[in-house]
């Protein structure tokens, strides 16, 4: 089932998410629905808070990004993986590399906008996968960028928080329009301030 994605302006996007365990009701169905929601929206990651669940859960598909890239881009943006398709539960980023890089980022909750964001090139992360098996992994490049973006959602943070104040000011009128539903996404969304 495709779930409506919550737009910028709604308070669920600004709240810290809770850890969960295997007893969380209908968890597998929620994860399945999140994948079904991600693809038609043309996204590479989605956090549960974006579909109204304030829990530490997100999904990442950097495989699609990898597959779409030319060979020389793959070498530049992917190190150590050829893209991943993974579910992250109760994730904690335990290490951010000092090695930084800048790249355009967008967010399904903030349709039509994108801005340059500085992120760590490499991260170390601990999490549980969809079968609740504990994982400790290191990711770099595009995969690490998407993970950092989605992890931020579980902390109530958005990529626009990293944009410098002047650029943020310029974005403001568009953000207000998004929250009012005056700028619309092509996929199903819930607009409005709450």
- Alpha carbon dihedral 114, 116, 118, 123, in 10-degree steps, equals 40
Sole window of 84-92, 103-111, 121-129, 165-173 interacting with Zn ion (rule: CB under 5 A)? 103-111
Closest CB to Zn ion belongs to which residue? 107
Does the protein bind Zn ion through residue 160 (CB under 5 A)?
no
In whole angstroms, the minimum distance from the beta carbon of 124 to Zn ion comes to 21
Q: Rounded to an integer, what is the distance from CA 24 to the centroid of its chain?
A: 21
Place of tokens 């598909």: 61
First to last CA, the chain: 24
Does the protein bind Zn ion through residue 107 (CB under 5 A)?
yes
Site string for Zn ion, 74-93 (x = CB under 5 A): --------------------
- Point out the catalytic residue in the list 19, 76, 150, 182: 150
Does the protein bind Zn ion through residue 59 (CB under 5 A)?
no
Specify the residue, 35 or 132, whose C-beta has the smaller distance to Zn ion: 35
Q: Using CB under 5 A, count the residues that bind Zn ion.
A: 1
Please list, in sequence order, all residues whose beta carbon lies within 8 angstroms of the beta carbon of residue 190, skipping any fewer than 6 positions away: 4, 5, 6, 7, 10, 52
- The verdict on whether 36 is a catalytic residue reads no
- Measured CA to CA, the distance from residue 48 to residue 154 in angstroms comes to 8
Please list, in sequence order, all residues whose beta carbon lies within 8 angstroms of the beta carbon of residue 32, skipping any fewer than 6 positions away: none
Specify the residue, 57 or 107, whose C-beta has the smaller distance to Zn ion: 107
In whole angstroms, the minimum distance from the beta carbon of 144 to Zn ion comes to 15
C-alpha distance from residue 23 to each of 86, 126, 165, 181 (Å): 20, 20, 42, 35
Specify the residue, 74 or 179, whose C-beta has the smaller distance to Zn ion: 179
Which parts of this chain interact with Zn ion (CB under 5 A)?
107
Residues classed as catalytic: 150
């Amino acid at each position: 089932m495709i779930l409506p994605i919550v737009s910028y302006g709604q308070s669920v996007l600004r709240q810290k998410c809770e850890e969960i365990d295997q007893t969380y009701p209908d968890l597998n169905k929620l994860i399945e629905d999140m994948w079904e929601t991600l693809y038609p929206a043309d996204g590479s990651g989605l956090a549960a808070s974006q579909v109204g669940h304030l829990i530490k859960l997100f999904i990442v598909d950097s495989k699609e990004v990898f597959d779409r890239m030319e060979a020389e881009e793959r070498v530049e943006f992917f190190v150590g993986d050829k893209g991943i398709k993974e579910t992250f539960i109760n994730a904690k980023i335990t290490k951010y590399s000092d090695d930084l890089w800048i790249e355009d980022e967008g967010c399904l909750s903030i349709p039509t906008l994108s801005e340059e964001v500085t992120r760590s090139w490499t991260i170390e992360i601990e999490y549980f996968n969809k079968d609740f098996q504990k994982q400790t992994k290191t990711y770099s490049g595009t995969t690490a960028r998407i993970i950092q973006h989605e992890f931020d959602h579980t902390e109530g943070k958005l990529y626009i928080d990293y944009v410098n104040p002047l650029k943020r000011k310029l974005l403001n009128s568009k953000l207000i329009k998004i929250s009012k539903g005056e700028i619309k996404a092509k996929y199903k969304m819930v607009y409005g301030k709450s």
